[in-house]
């Protein structure tokens, strides 16, 4: 009788310990998932990884770096890179913006934030020599502001974005690709382009029939044109 009760007590404590262990394992798994989603991811190298032509890609607002939209964007960039024999390095954001539902973003509200963001990007891509920048949505907004206050000496492609105006912008070549059906930023992009007219910032407006997205054909055509121009310029210098 005593042995039977002892076995029942042992079984009772065994079940408690088993439940506690299960709850602990679930907690650890959830914590690991949270850390993985909120920590800066590694670089994603796309396209032709052996190319000396290296473009940097900055994503838009996203819950995680592997959201459906960003995975789609990287798929397009990878295809373009392979077809044009260039490397595209997708740099993951290191911060989240509370005002944008705590999504991953590029801090850019102040000059200090923009310089810190740029320093982070340079640190992540070192020692690669940059041939140009591509920014989508929030990444494009960051590049549009940076292009007004600092000479980058490489082409800048901004997709589905616009930005505030900074007085007396410096000289840069900025290519603004905007969808005519972009419900978020089309009109803002047009105003940004008009505001930059007759300034040192040379903005090339490229309107396409699309929504708020990266479209392969116009981006590929632009990159091909820019790479060809750079190659011809280099040849003329070496002659």
Nearest alpha-carbon partner for 229 in 19, 51, 53: 53
CA distance 175 to 159: 8
Instruction: Give 174's Cβ-side CA count (13 Å radius).
Output: 35
Residue range 150-188, pLDDT digits in tens: 999 999 999 999 999 999 999 999 999 999 999 999 999
Q: Where are the domains of the chain?
A: 1-30, 41-238
Structure tokens at 236: 């003329």
Cross-strand bridge partners of residue 159: 136, 177
User: Does the pLDDT of residue 40 top 70, yes or no?
Assistant: no
CA distance 213 to 205: 16
Structure tokens at 18: 């088993």
Share of the chain above pLDDT 70, in %: 81
**Mean pLDDT to the nearest integer, 122-150:** 97
Contact 145, 166 (CB under 8 A): yes
Share of the chain above pLDDT 90, in %: 78
pLDDT at 35: 38
CA distance 80 to 90: 13
CATH class of the 41-238 domain in this structure: alpha beta
**Mean pLDDT to the nearest integer, 78-105:** 97
């Amino acid at each position: 009788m005593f042995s039977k009760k002892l076995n029942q007590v042992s079984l009772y404590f065994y079940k408690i310990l088993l439940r506690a262990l299960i709850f602990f394992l679930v907690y650890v798994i959830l914590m690991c998932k949270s850390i993985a989603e909120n920590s800066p991811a590694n670089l994603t190298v796309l396209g032709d990884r052996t190319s000396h032509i290296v473009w940097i890609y900055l994503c838009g607002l996203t819950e995680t770096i592997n959201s459906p939209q960003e995975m789609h964007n990287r798929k397009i960039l990878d295809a373009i890179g392979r077809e044009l024999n260039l490397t595209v390095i997708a740099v993951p954001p290191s911060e989240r913006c509370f005002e944008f539902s705590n999504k991953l973003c590029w801090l850019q509200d102040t000059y200090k934030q923009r310089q810190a963001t740029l320093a982070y990007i340079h640190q992540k891509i070192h020692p690669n020599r940059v041939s140009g920048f591509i920014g989508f949505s929030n990444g494009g907004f960051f590049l549009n502001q940076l292009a007004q206050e600092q000479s980058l000496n490489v082409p800048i492609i901004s997709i589905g974005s616009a930005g505030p105006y900074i007085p007396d912008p410096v000289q840069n070549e900025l290519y603004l690709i905007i969808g005519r059906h972009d419900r978020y930023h089309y009109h803002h992009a047009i105003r940004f382009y008009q505001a930059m007219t007759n300034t040192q910032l040379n903005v090339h407006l490229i309107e396409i029939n699309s929504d708020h997205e990266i479209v392969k054909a116009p981006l590929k055509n632009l990159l091909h044109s820019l790479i060809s121009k750079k190659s011809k310029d280099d040849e003329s210098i070496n002659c």
